[in-house]
Structure 1
Amino acid sequence: MNDTIAPSIDDNAAAVPASAIAPVGAAERIDTLDFIRGLAVMGILAANIVAFGQPMMAYFTPGKFLVPAGDPDGWMWIAQFILVDGKMRGLFTLLFGAGMYLFMEKAWARGATRWLQAWRLVILLGFGLFHFYFIWFGDILSLYALVGLIVLACLKWSIKTQLWVGLAGYMLGVVFYAFTVFPWLVTGTALGDSSPEMAEMRDGMRAEMQSQIAEQAPVNEAIASGDYAALVAHRIGEQGLEPFTNVFLFGFETLPLMLIGIALYRIGFFSGAIAREKLVLWGWTGMIAGGLAHLAIGLLMQADGFSPFGTQAAFLGMSALPRLWMVIGLVALLVAYAPSATGWLGDRVRAAGRAAFTNYLGTSVVMMFLFHGWALGLFGQLNRPQLYVVVVLAWVLMLAWSKPWLDRYRYGPLEWLWRCLTYRTVFPLRK
């Protein structure tokens, strides 16, 4: 595929009436995207499970579990850090960018403009804000919607511009996130003792960390006790701006990865335009190089005792560059190997990917029933191995319902609702 774009459309024109536009049909789907999306929506639960079942700080720091973590030497933490954390989010972000362009290709061909995509993202923002305030604070949909509105302005750039701006933007983010390592150097190394000024800074940073941990206490208490009204009030009152401020914190990763995802889609990366041998070579190179770098960081954190400052530096600053290697490597391997995943399991993973929106939000609802005090009340009760059992059971649930549902219906429930709201018409759901 060359650098040409879809047929010229005046994006300032009024949106085409919804009745003249049809959503993407099954024949227009890219099978590989569904497969990767299915694995990503399953993997993102593995990344988030600790934050569902334990205080948020336990996501970074094993010592913040409310029960013994069940991982005395931290090897499970290291394994998750290498294989899961940030990788599933990266896959999702690449696919979201690719999906935006795929949507617009079909929309342009049918006479629509980018206003349709903008309206679609506004609806997604509504879903995301509802998810954040009323279900789970770890929502990513609002971030994607807000960043996606920025990406809309870049859709008609050339492929090379999208790719190079994406890569350059990500490297800018690597520099930005590198500053998160400084607090750990001050609080966890000899730098904090090097001068009275540094010692004062160290003490201030430690006090600020304790303050942040204390601020989360009402949230943890509300979840454990089942005081849902207090939890929602805290999210709206104390955390109400987080979905918007997260754009500035995570935008240096999200925006570049979306642009890279668009560029990869346009060169045919997801649809067989790249030789399989190259995909395998690039994939294993990125996975091995990035994995070894993550292993080194994990061992450093193990030696450091998984301190709060150290683990946050590892997640945000130290791993930013090797994480890109692993995300690109992983997506290359999945593109290479997805066509051979033709058995019953592969079909069910693809179905989970076709219903990824429903699976993502549905998983958060299921986790509420498991962990909140007004339901089963398991918050703070399960250690890391037990939380992984929950992940596996949730995977079984995803794989069990998605394919039978899609055998009978055209879309997942929330996918259908999103389409209806996007086009402002009611589409048939049953096949």
Structure 2
Amino acid sequence: MPVATPSRLVRLDALRGFALVGILAVNVWAFATGYYGSGIADPAGDPVVQFAVSMFVETKFYLLFSFLFGYSFTLQMDAAARADAAFRPRMLRRHLGLAVIGVAHAVLLFPGDILTTYAVLGLVLLALRDISARRAVWLAIGLLLASGVLWTLLGVLDLLTPTPVDGAAAAARVAETVAAYQGTPATVVAEHLRQLPSTLALVVFVQAPSALAMFLLGFAAGKRQVLAEPWRHRTLWTWLLRAGLPIGLVGAAFYAYLTVHHPGSGAQTLAIGVTLLTAPLLTGGYVAALLRLFETRAATVFAPVGRVALSNYILQSVILSLVFTAYGLGLVGKLPYAAVAGLVVVIYAIQLALSALWLRSHRYGPLEWLLRAVTTGARPAAARPPALRP
């Protein structure tokens, strides 16, 4: 029998905490090398590290985060009902606060910010909040299939009518990015602003449909209390482990090979289509495996970092900016890929320890406290009462 769940859903926090290491393992490359997303290969790249990241992490963990966002939406609904408060105004304030944090994050630290996207897509979920769990699932499947099939067809078309990559122009853009990150804080911000239009296009046409689909799946799971009572859904978890996980791994290997060895080509466009179709299955397999792991005390290791996920997400960008840009050491393009991977482990280990320490005396993370204040329109208590401390 699974471990009893306290008032706050430990499994949800633990999943969110685990998702953070995947987010970090992807985002770090946008800081560490100017070649990330450039369409050309990094001469100093490490194919083994790149393949591992592309196969097991890239395009998977933002889906997990999106699923958990949708699940948490149902908890927000329950919280508003318990407080006898109007739900729509609360969520409008919450999404506005999230958008403000996201815009500041994108401009100052990381143009690949996901918070603003979540704030906007969250309004769609708000409009659909009366939808049934079954309809939410079918709408999500439709979005995933439509997006994946479209990109797969675009990839096939790209292969049939290939357009050569302008390597010289791409290399020049890489050099400009590196120079900006090694310049001054002002050039760092200017580079972020330059990247924002292309990043926005990537989000709108690639990530947003899948993120919204995972919102809907998380929303349906929240309505059915899937994470609160996972043992009641063993058929689903078994299917995800025995079928979803293998299919997802095959798609991930296909995506990783083409992304690493054929960047910027029609083959990579095809790979995007394939991963949009198969990555949700791999993400589901991760969830199924983690829920089994979290029936042990392992959940208590990841839960604290997940409880303050928003603060930790921003903190990751702060640390990476201090390491790789002119805000600090300016080491962009200077660390071997293996060292960057090691840095991910170190940063996450620090966050695990700091999060547990912080929550000994605080109810919320700093940004969680701020967002809660905006959501409720009241000043929440920050300190944890002595009786509740371990």
TM-score, normalised with respect to structure 2: 0.88
- For the residues of structure 1 that align with 2:60 and 2:360, how far apart are their CA atoms? 30
SS at 1:377 equivalent? coil
1:331-361 Cα distance to aligned partner (Å, 9 max, x none): 1222233121x15xx4231000001111100
**1:176 aligned to 2:179?**
no
> What is the CA distance between 1:93 and its match in structure 2?
0.5
Choose the corresponding residue for 2:367, options 414, 418, 421: 414
**Conserved in 1, the CA contact under 8 Å of 2:310 and 2:367?**
yes
Paired positions, count: 378
Superposition map of 1:8-157 within 5 A: 28-55=7-34, 57-58=35-36, 63-64=41-42, 68-69=44-45, 71=46, 74-111=47-84, 112-157=86-131
> 1:142 touches 1:243 (CA, 8 Å); kept in 2?
no
TM-score (norm 1): 0.80
Give 5+ residue unaligned stretches, structure 1.
1-25, 186-190, 192-197
Task: Tell me the equivalent position of 1:255.
Answer: 212
Quick one: distance in 2 between partners of 1:382 and 1:107? Answer: 48
Q: Which residue of 293, 300, 320 corresponds with 1:337?
A: 293
Structure 1 residue 179 displacement after superposition: 4.2
Shift of 1:313: 2.2
Identity of aligned residues (%): 27
1:51 corresponds to which letter in structure 2?
A
1:292 maps to: 250
> Alpha carbons of 1:115 and 1:88: their partners in 2 closer, same or farther (altered >3 Å)?
same
Q: Is the 8 A contact 1:348 1:402 kept in 2?
A: no
Counterparts in 2 of 1:374 and 1:92: CA distance versus 1, 3 Å: closer
Separation (CA, whole Å) in 2 of partners of 1:259 and 1:276: 18
Query: In the superposition, relative to structure 1, how do residues 107 and 247 fare at CA in structure 2: closer, same or farther (>3 Å)?
Result: farther
Q: 1:365 aligns with which of 296, 312, 318?
A: 318
Residues 129, 243 of structure 1: 8 Å contact kept: no
Contact 2:149 2:277 in 1 (8 A): no
Of 265, 268, 272 in structure 1, the residue corresponding to residue 225 of structure 2 is 268
Equivalent-residue separation in structure 2 for 1:322 and 1:210 (angstroms)? 34
The 3 A distance-change label for structure 1 pair 242 and 48 is closer
Moved more, 403-412 or 420-429: 420-429
Aligned AA for 2:336?
A: N
Residue 214 of structure 1: CA displacement? 4.0
Which residue in the other structure is 2:352 paired with?
399
Distance of aligned partners of 1:158 and 1:309 in 2 relative to their CA distance in 1, 3 Å threshold: same
Q: Structure 1 residues 418, 166: closer, same or farther in 2, change over 3 A? A: same
Q: Which residue of 2 aligns with 1:6?
A: none
